[in-house]
Amino acid sequence: MVTATETPGAHGEDSPRESSPYVELDRATWAMLASETESPLTSDEVARLRGIGDQLDLAEIRDVYLPLSRLLSLRVRAATALHHAQQEFLHGLTPPRTPFVIGLAGSVAVGKSTAARVLQQMLARWPEHPNVALVTTDGFLYPNAELVKRGLLERKGFPESYDRKALMRFVIDIKSGKDEVEAPVYSHLVYDVRQDQKVVVKKPDIVIVEGLNVLQPARVRGDGRVGLGLSDFFDFSIYVDANTNHIREWYVDRFLRLRETAFRDPDSYFAKYAALSHDSAVDEARRIWDTINGPNLAQNVLPTRSRATLVLRKSADHSVDWVRLRKI
């Protein structure tokens, strides 16, 4: 079934509208859009791409990500054709086409990192664009020492905790067509930016920029002028969505899984949580969600959902239930 209305129950949207700038497709209809295309990923590759707590399998790849990769490949091809047309119009005075940039946003624990990794691998299998780079905005967080200095350590992940100028420069350099651009690296083990590591992006066909706040609009400056927003440089944007209560449960579940794995590494910033009892760990995970991640989702991340070109809506079991695509 294909509709052009809002889906009832999506974050409080309890009444459908008669018209919408989106086309909505249920999972079965969406899956049919790539029914004649074979999935390029094996079960072992899917297992390596799966994040903690995500229920990613070959069915999800076939039904959700295969149609999405096909759509994105078509959009890349269309952007190339448009570039050629503009070059012809300008009598060749423009430089070579710049990379196609995809912004991917969503809450902590919703599975956006897994979605980004899957898309990177699947898009790279299309022969028209084999060089697909993935950059997460975590690397553009201020170092912990700077966050402490600014009184922002407990607001990590909020927009003000990022070096937004550096992130903007990175995306502008990508869209300017620079041959080589560097991005900082973030370590979830030590919960800090690694000053000794960089991600080098060299002549990519596609760049995926994944992060909590990548779809935020431009800020209004003190003099009333509006600057540029990161999303001004995106050719396509995706928001991974789910019911907030489900995301909270997924966050707690992920915290408990990490308590049994990564938190037991003595080098982990969160090693102090490894010795917690099950009940104490649940209480601590809920506290962190309710004081940091939940408010950030409500205040900063969720309001950007309507800015996305495409929304992937997940059900309680982490599988994508329906897709909302902005009309052209």
Whether 85 has a binding-site annotation, put simply, is no
Whether 201 has a binding-site annotation, put simply, is no
Whether 175 has a binding-site annotation, put simply, is no
Task: Give the strand pairing for 310-314 and 206-210.
Answer: unpaired
DSSP string for 126-151: STT---EEEEEGGGGBPPHHHHHHHT
Whether 109 has a binding-site annotation, put simply, is yes
Token pair belonging to 159: 């927009």
Residue 93 CB neighbour total at 10 angstroms: 8
Token pair belonging to 129: 């664009």
Token pair belonging to 279: 């009940």
Whether 106 has a binding-site annotation, put simply, is yes
Whether 111 has a binding-site annotation, put simply, is yes
Whether 151 has a binding-site annotation, put simply, is no
Distance CA 74, CA 80 (A): 10
DSSP string for 260-327: HTGGGSTT-TTGGGTTS-HHHHHHHHHHHIIIIIHHHIIIIIGGGGGG-SEEEEE-TTS-EEEEEEE-
Binding residues: 106-113
Write out the binding residues for ATP. Answer: 106-113
